[in-house]
Chain A
Amino acid sequence: MEYLKKYPKLFQWLFLLIVFFALCFAIEVPETYKFIRGQAEFVKDPNQSVYFFLGKEVRYYAFDVFWRLPPLLGWLPIWINDSLFFLMNEWMPMEFWNEDTQEFKTRPLLLQVSRNLTAFMTFLIELIREILLGGLETIVAFTSWDFIDAYPWLELPGLPWTIVAAGAAILSYKLSGKGLAVFAGLTMIYISIFGQWKPSMQTLSFILVAAPLSFIFGLGLGIAAYKSKRVEKALYPILLVMQTMPQYAVLVPALVLFGVGDHAAVIITMVVAVPPMILLTILGLRAIPPEVIEAGRMSGCTNWQLMLKVLIPTARRDILIGVNQVIMVCFSMAVISAFIGAKGLGFNLLLALNQLNIGLALEAGLCISLIAILLDKMSLAWANKQTDYFGNLTFFQRNKNVIFFIASFVIGIILAYVGTFIFKGSFNYLFEIPHNKGISTADFWNKGVDWIFDTFFVYIKAFNTWLIQDVLQPMRALYLRMPAVATLVLAVGAGYLIGGIRSALVVAALTLFIALSPWWDRALVTLYMATFGVVISCLIGFTVGTLCFQNKKSAAFMLGVCDIFQTFPSFVYLIPVMMLFGITDTSVLIAVIVYATIPATRYTIEGLRSVPVGLHEAATMSGVNKLQRLTKIEFPLAFPHMMLGINQTIVFALFMVIIGAFIGTEDLGQYILKALSDKNGAGIGLTLGICVAFIGLIFDNLIRTWVEKRKKHLGIA
């Protein structure tokens, strides 16, 4: 009884676990139950039960409600799909003037809007693409084909790669200095020499459209939410869901709305990249000290001046992190949107992965990562740039960058012209090194992979078999063995114990949505993979983070490594693991672990760092040794921040698990991937995405509530 009084929480948790396990053992597995591998839910089978709702037919295998809830939300994907089609094809038909046929045409409003939007995006992408690679469509858009025929000199080629490389280096020099300039130059030369120029420039043109647009929209909406509570309230739930929604899932609805191609990819990228930008903008603006705003007002700022010259620059740090996020998401999407027909490196990467040509995939992946790091560093440097008023500079000094660029422009063109004589009859390597005609290390890598495989096959295979048979399969079976009711009780109970009735209700609603969707089994599989990944990631992340924290230099180094790793598009992580483990669950899980270890490590270091110096000194003066200091002072205080790290780890792990479907797993991701090729897939894709997002949100809610309470308790809120 004494213990009961001393640790009431502990006993409540114990009680919850006992109820959970009791339920698990009390509810038998129905004899007819088996994990359905294919898309059998939609195949007609006399054993299935059927119900109708809103005129939609839903088929499912009925079990005892305690074991699996019936998919009462089964109509939702179909309904979403039908509504989407109705909106696109039938809703609000209107007369629109058609330029080409010179007549009015009746079209649904939404279709027309989407087509115009598409045309606009295509125009922007083509504009940049044609500057970099040459082409006519932009000029034609302003004039006509006849105009081009009349003035054939307008058929300008794209910029020679030498000029783009020099331009990138000069811009980097102006923004940051020698280091970045050298990095930019080397990156461009690497891309060119390895024959990735064309796809790289295609990807770049896509990003140069998507990133600025996402930035502008995110900033704008963030400011609107900052200024008006109502806008914020309307945006907040969408932002929450989008934060945990796998990027895959939004592809399918976009396919329906905007069709296939780069333009759809840009729009989809914006959908994914804008939410974090909004959140960080709001965060940054909220953190501005009120006196700075008052100082701006007292200086006589108009509202515009206040926003542009005081608020945004003062919130710069958070807005910058937003830009960073936007760039990361853009590169990530540059790969993923290859699924809906975006051209460029991502397409090559997917193709190579599909053909199991690891070497080629590695080269494409490296190119994407290099460009991502370069743009990331350039955007950071740009935001930190200062102007100097006191330089008494000559004309040359002031304009040296422009002069250098013009010079390199001229030299580049001369070189390209000279090139036409040197490389007569073959490719002009001084203009553009065509795809597959550069140096390729693909063979080297492929041979390397083969060698590793031949040499270590036995060990890898043994490890693989052991992991799958002795760890993963039993774990998965255990997860699937959970009766739906027991899971619900556990989730809601945890919600109640952590955050009271409010949290319990939120968690219950989110869990019920998944349980009532037709994909509960899949969600369990997703959860098992994510759990496995998160546990290992956190173990590694906490250990590595703690070890690195012991030394200031190694901590800074590790944070830098995290920064760079985070810049890699998520797909890139699949390449090395496929090299080693082939197409198995092990590959996916290792990719998950590597990817999800980043936030775990980062938050551990940051958390330990945030422990006040005064406490360190107090501890040292009390005569603790290093280990005692770590366990008694640093860990307890850093733990809330580390929990936020776990939160991020869960989101990262879920993302990777879903992407892992590309290799072939049996979780929700598999269905999202299938929905891509299904003509009725929009509703399915979206609902699946929401399911994954909700899994993330359940943990997000629990962890955040706990952290807030804990921080208040420790007085570090």
Chain B
Amino acid sequence: MSETVIKCESVYKIFGENAKKMLDESNGKVDAKTFQEKGCIVGVNNASFEVAKGEMLVVMGLSGSGKSTLLRCISRLTDATGGKIFIEGQDLLELNNKELIELRRNKMGMVFQSFALLPHKTVVENIAFPLQIKGTNTQDSINTAMEMVKLVGLDGRENYFPRELSGGQQQRVGIARSLAVEPDIWFLDEPFSALDPLIRKEMQDEFLRLQEKLQKTIMFITHDFDEALKLADRIAIMKDGIIEQLDTPANIVLNPATEYVRKFTEEVPREKVLVIEDVMDTSNNDNLGDLRVSKDDIIENVAEKILTQENIVGVVDSNNNIVGSIKPSKIIDTVFGGRKNGS
């Protein structure tokens, strides 16, 4: 793997008056119930993970699971109660106010669920805002902002006020604003949750297109499991402040670590999530039929082809070397098998 950009080591966030003291006394064993009895609420409980450069980590959980709190600890909008957070090797919690502002001005961008646009500024002024805060002169910041306006496809609306835009357009402004300073790290806090399903899908596709181009390091928060599957390189599933499982979408679907995670995966159409590589058999490369499929193919796209075969299908990598095989019955197993109660 390439270099680590974000690194968390047993991060805790506990709300309440004696939070710090109680955490120190608990010796790392934080139980939400006992804490609650003493008037403290556990937001994030012992979160440890790393995010590599250019990777997209999606944190998924229902409301109250602590996912937004975790994001705010990493952006230091709130101070973590315990643990260590490193941004490109820098200890985030050790930074003084000035260094923190420097970091945010140059390295971080954030998109919010409710868009959080400044109501008194036009589209272009909103986007130029982080630049102007940094001290860029007006003309340059407006020029950069105009480029961003084009990037998110809002040309012609640069002089509109947020109140004159639809939800999807407002979020485009939010995205453009967070990208204006060309940050390396991109935080997105449920950016599409407030949008209509159709607009949401459109924005997700647009977002993937942007990410292809920009290759940022991303932490993306969502409560929508399908959205997580669609976007993520890796998914972290949170419940009651604890990260239940952190893995690739395929592994989460195939090997849910806990009962809680399994419930989410039950309804997931596997053929849409898994690629051939996830289900292929690497031990048996003999007796292959004529058909070859790529290991990166999504099952849904090649299922029909494989199912019409009677022989075992060979799986190849990008250089056309055979790396494994797959039986047609395995496809049926994968699609219909894992569900215990049927549906």
Contacts and interface: CB of A to CB of B under 8 A. Distances in A.
Interface residues of A, number: 21
Contacts of A302: 101
Contacts of B121: 313
Given A298-B110, A389-B142, A390-B159, A314 B119 contact: yes
Contact of B133 (A292, A294, A309): A309
Interface of B: 72, 75, 77, 101-102, 104-106, 108-110, 112-122, 124-125, 129-130, 133-134, 138, 142, 159, 174, 177-178, 181, 187
Nearest to A389: B142
B120 A313 contact: yes
B180 to A, nearest CB: 9
Given A300-B104, A301-B133, A295 B124 contact: no
Nearest to A310: B118
**5 closest Cβ contacts across the A-B interface?**
A300-B105, A299-B130, A295-B116, A291-B116, A300-B104
A98 interface: no
Contacts of B118: 292, 295, 310, 313-314
A469 interface: no
Interface in A277-309: 289, 291-292, 294-295, 297-302, 305, 309
A289 B159 contact: no
Nearest to B113: A291
A386 interface: yes
Given A300-B105, A301-B133, A302-B101, A316 B113 contact: no
Contacts of A298: 75, 77, 104, 108-110, 178, 187
Given A302-B101, A389-B142, A289 B114 contact: yes
Contacts of A390: 159
10 contacts: A294-B77, A294-B116, A295-B177, A297-B104, A299-B130, A300-B134, A305-B133, A309-B133, A314-B120, A389-B142
Contacts of A289: 114, 116
B101 A300 contact: yes
Contacts of B187: 298
A291 B112 contact: yes
A657 to B, nearest CB: 41
A390 B177 CA distance: 19
Given A294-B116, A300-B133, A310-B118, 11 more contacts: A289-B116, A292-B116, A295-B117, A295-B174, A298-B109, A300-B104, A301-B101, A301-B133, A302-B101, A309-B133, A390-B159
Contacts of B159: 388, 390
A295 B110 contact: yes
B147 to A, nearest CB: 15
Contact of A299 (B104, B124, B138): B104
Contacts of B181: 300
A313 B115 CA distance: 17
Contacts of B113: 291
Given A299-B129, A300-B134, A389 B112 contact: no
Contacts of A292: 116-118
Contacts, number: 70
Nearest to B161: A386
A302 B100 CA distance: 10
Contact of B77 (A297, A305, A386): A297
Q: Which of A294, A301, A388, A389 has the most CB of B within 10 A?
A: A389
Interface in A308-365: 309-310, 313-314, 316
Nearest to A295: B116
A390 B125 CA distance: 12
B112 A295 contact: yes
Nearest to A306: B133
Given A299-B130, A300-B133, A291 B114 contact: yes
A294 B187 CA distance: 12
A294 B188 CA distance: 12
Given A298-B77, A298-B104, A305-B133, A389 B138 contact: yes
A275 B127 CA distance: 36
Given A294-B110, A310-B118, A300 B138 contact: no
Contacts of B75: 298
Nearest to B100: A300
Interface of A: 289, 291-292, 294-295, 297-302, 305, 309-310, 313-314, 316, 386, 388-390
Nearest to B121: A313
A406 B118 CA distance: 37
A221 to B, nearest CB: 23
Contacts of A316: 119-120
B305 to A, nearest CB: 47
A298 to B, nearest CB: 4
A389 B116 CA distance: 23
A309 B106 CA distance: 19
Nearest to A383: B120
A298 B104 CA distance: 6
Contacts of A386: 122
Nearest to B125: A389
Nearest to A302: B101
A229 B117 CA distance: 27
Contacts of A305: 133
Contacts of B108: 298
A565 to B, nearest CB: 29
Q: Which of B101, B109, B113, B115 has the most CB of A within 10 A?
A: B101
A227 to B, nearest CB: 16
Contacts of A297: 77, 104
A676 to B, nearest CB: 45
Q: Which of A291, A305, A310 has the most CB of B within 10 A?
A: A291
Nearest to B115: A291
Nearest to B107: A300
Q: Which of A297, A299, A300, A314 has the most CB of B within 10 A?
A: A299
A294 B130 contact: no
A297 B104 CA distance: 8
A587 to B, nearest CB: 46
A388 B102 CA distance: 29
B151 to A, nearest CB: 18
A316 B119 CA distance: 10
A316 B113 CA distance: 23
Contacts of A314: 118-120
B72 to A, nearest CB: 8
A406 to B, nearest CB: 27
A299 B114 contact: no
Given A294-B110, A386-B122, A299 B116 contact: no
Nearest to B142: A389
A334 B279 CA distance: 84
Nearest to B180: A299
A374 B143 CA distance: 39
Contacts of B133: 299-301, 305, 309
B130 to A, nearest CB: 4
A430 B138 CA distance: 45
A567 B142 CA distance: 40
Nearest to A317: B119
A389 B174 CA distance: 20
A316 B122 CA distance: 15
Contacts of B122: 386
B58 to A, nearest CB: 19
B255 to A, nearest CB: 36
A321 to B, nearest CB: 15
B94 to A, nearest CB: 18
A563 to B, nearest CB: 22
A295 B102 CA distance: 15
A309 B112 CA distance: 19
Nearest to A390: B159
